[in-house]
Chains A and B, each alone.
Chain A
């Protein structure tokens, strides 16, 4: 009887639901943009296929614009108005919450809303799926070349495959952003005062010297408190040790290094399953047993707070770290007014300026093969600028957007600064002609630039940089030495199926070998498991991708 009652309820509600659905009409009609859909007349008869991309003189375009933003941009933000006037356009700025941008973007797509310009939410690894969904416009290479010549030339110089990373079936669907961080590898940082305390004057340079320093840090009480509570290294230091064996398996605190592919005998292989990694694990297992490796390497050196901080290092638990990037560690630079140095430097200085000053920036250990190996990003990284499907019907608008990008990022350094920082003399200023350094003027130095619209019309193509001084410092301190880059860029078709699981397998195996839960020989079993769980497929796809790229 109960069941019958339930049956009735279900039936009734389903009927009601169906009725409502039927009444709802179709919310899924493809987005028609409020702009003018007509193709300019001149394009029709013209022989030049690029002519239709020419923006129409005097036409006021309305451009929906999804920028990279950390805080929402008010409708009347100063820089929005400035550029609307300058380019004679209307910007409809999309504010999507920074931390949930992908989810919100997808929801808008589901409602049939597609932004014309999109510098957020799509990355090289998700691009193929959006293309498959049919929401992105194709951009011929010739058009890019014509409307953003400087950006095109510079980007192709840095990486000739630049546009291929945003291509699907030979068609280009986006402009990959180039990363300023790519020039430099991750860090090698030593506690200088500890080195001195244990009698090491030369910054360790080879694997043996690294090992010696770690053992001394552990056993010779470098913090002088009479208690054996220090370690040589923790999680982020592991990469350098693996590097000394010639592999970067990706296990570590930083997700962007997680999925690392290297070239071996002309093939692309995943570093995590290479026999060299087994040798490294053997050594790490010994260090773990000897108490040199911090047993808390599993949860990492950062305990909440800003991700770039290594609490284990700042709190004097370990004397060596590879956490974060050079900008998290650099020392205050005299040329930059009021500079406090990287976040870790700053935290250390709060505790004791002498310790901060003692930091030594080392090089990755010279490995068995005589080379230094540490992770560095590729110039082309995840984010891609993409354009809404509707622009295929409005090529002149696409041309207009490309012109705007070229103006802001490809013409002069001052235009580049204006897009990033705001108006010179009001939001920022510089003492020298060449704009090597700049300072943001109060009160704007205490706000996010987005609040007045700065930065939302800028993207990075490395035609210019704002970090000239810091980059010089990093170069001088050896951060470009030993930089090794991932051979695989973008996503493999099978990534959603296997990638997460393969990374999980790797992490579990590595941890259990290091801690001695499993014997070192378990590595061979792990390799078999890894290939069986999708690694085979991923390796095959990676090589196909490579073959396709060099074709």
Chain B
């Protein structure tokens, strides 16, 4: 069988239109018009369908009583049973609350920290110093929490840790940072910021690198001091990136760092430190309850999505830049 000619295809597709005009139609198809752009976009779209949209059928586990042998599609539907079970547990609600509180602190202190760091670093004039400091600042990003937990347990020890020795030196009482419920969340927030400060700053530094240096020279000639230059040139220059990061961080408000909490917490601080992922781990995965774990995951994702939609909407109203 021979492939139909182009004219033939067009005739089949638009039978009521004269051939000449049909050719025109194709020419006027917007994807055809931007065919080079379409080609450029295509691999990306295929990728998202194959590796993100297609596997989505797995989400149904959350609404099923999942059995290995029956498979995902063959398992029995149980409706919202898994969710009902979830919300009925007091411990789940406690973990949920902790997650929100810890994420909120991480957001309030952790979001501005790398921006501040990037700005301050940008103000250092000795180029080699700037590079040196930046290179060092992202070191901790590469160390796993397994290793860091060991280091922090020693560093924060009330009897032998250097930090407490310092506190005692200046006449304060030693604080049991990891064993005291009042301090534990602060420890989580502080260590989290410390670990990713330099790494998160990379994107802001990249944005600053994109700012035209002439702007600074002109401002200088006009007599603007350093703070004015930061406020009027640097900040507006990185504003779009800040907005995106802000929207995304708000979406992360329900995400937590499993590795961090798992490695740092102990029974004394369960009450304030137990978060959704550690909770799900203890009750779900340890006892092969995939449906249950998937339900928690889906719950988290829906909340994230709503948070991002709201943040994006606000960002659009306020600053005109948004995720899409």
In the complex they form, whether A and B have CB atoms below 8 Å apart is answered with yes
Question: CA A118 – CA B267 in complex, angstroms?
Answer: 34
| Interface bin, chain A | 35 or more
- Residues in A whose Cβ lies below 8 Å from that of B288: 102, 106, 126, 129-130, 133
* Interface 0/1 of B18-51, CB less than 8 Å to A: 0000000000000000000000000000000100
Instruction: Give residues 124-158 of B contacting A (CB, 8 Å).
Output: 146-147, 149-151, 153-154, 157-158
Instruction: Give the residue name and chain of the A residue nearest to B176 (CB).
Output: A295
Q: List the one stretch of A81-89, A337-345, A499-507 in contact with chain B.
A: A499-507
Question: CA A86 – CA B158 in complex, angstroms?
Answer: 60
Q: Is the interface of A mostly helix, strand, loop or mixed?
A: helix
A304 touching B153 by the CB < 8 A rule?
yes
- Residues in A whose Cβ lies below 8 Å from that of B49: 16, 20
A20 touching B53 by the CB < 8 A rule?
yes
CB of B36, distance to nearest CB on chain A (Å): 24
Question: CA A463 – CA B287 in complex, angstroms?
Answer: 31
Question: CA A305 – CA B271 in complex, angstroms?
Answer: 26
**Residue A63 at the B interface, CB < 8 A?**
no
**Residue B236 at the A interface, CB < 8 A?**
no
Question: CA A170 – CA B65 in complex, angstroms?
Answer: 25
Choose one: A13, A20, A28; the contact of B74 (CB below 8 Å).
Answer: A28
Instruction: Give residues 282-303 of A contacting B (CB, 8 Å).
Output: 294-296, 298-300, 303
A129 touching B158 by the CB < 8 A rule?
no
- Residues in B whose Cβ lies below 8 Å from that of A317: 159-160
- Residues in B whose Cβ lies below 8 Å from that of A20: 49, 53-54, 57
A305 touching B283 by the CB < 8 A rule?
no
B268 touching A229 by the CB < 8 A rule?
no
A496 touching B72 by the CB < 8 A rule?
no
Instruction: Give residues 429-469 of A contacting B (CB, 8 Å).
Output: none
B149 touching A304 by the CB < 8 A rule?
yes
**Residue B232 at the A interface, CB < 8 A?**
no
B270 touching A504 by the CB < 8 A rule?
yes
B176 touching A296 by the CB < 8 A rule?
yes
A507 touching B69 by the CB < 8 A rule?
no
Question: CA A134 – CA B146 in complex, angstroms?
Answer: 36
B150 touching A508 by the CB < 8 A rule?
no
CB of A382, distance to nearest CB on chain B (Å): 12
Choose one: A30, A103, A298, A304; the contact of B176 (CB below 8 Å).
Answer: A298
A229 touching B159 by the CB < 8 A rule?
yes
**Residue B71 at the A interface, CB < 8 A?**
yes
B158 touching A110 by the CB < 8 A rule?
no
B73 touching A303 by the CB < 8 A rule?
no
Which A residues have a C-beta under 8 Å from some C-beta of B? 2, 6, 13, 16-17, 20-21, 24, 26-28, 30, 102-103, 106, 109-110, 112, 126, 129-130, 133-135, 229, 251, 294-296, 298-300, 303-305, 315, 317, 389, 495-497, 500-501, 504, 507-508, 511
Task: Please give 20 more A-B residue pairs, beta carbons under 8 A apart, in addition to A6-B309, A299-B178.
Answer: A28-B70, A102-B285, A110-B290, A130-B288, A133-B68, A133-B288, A251-B267, A295-B176, A296-B158, A296-B176, A298-B268, A300-B266, A303-B157, A304-B146, A305-B150, A504-B91, A507-B268, A507-B270, A508-B268, A508-B271
Which B residues have a C-beta under 8 Å from some C-beta of A? 49, 53-54, 56-57, 67-74, 91, 146-147, 149-151, 153-154, 157-160, 176, 178-179, 266-268, 270-271, 274, 282-283, 285-290, 309, 313
**Can you identify 26 A-B contacts, CB atoms within 8 angstroms?**
A17-B54, A20-B49, A20-B54, A28-B70, A28-B71, A28-B74, A106-B288, A109-B68, A110-B290, A135-B68, A294-B159, A295-B158, A295-B179, A296-B159, A298-B179, A299-B153, A299-B178, A303-B153, A303-B157, A304-B150, A304-B151, A304-B153, A305-B150, A315-B160, A496-B289, A504-B91
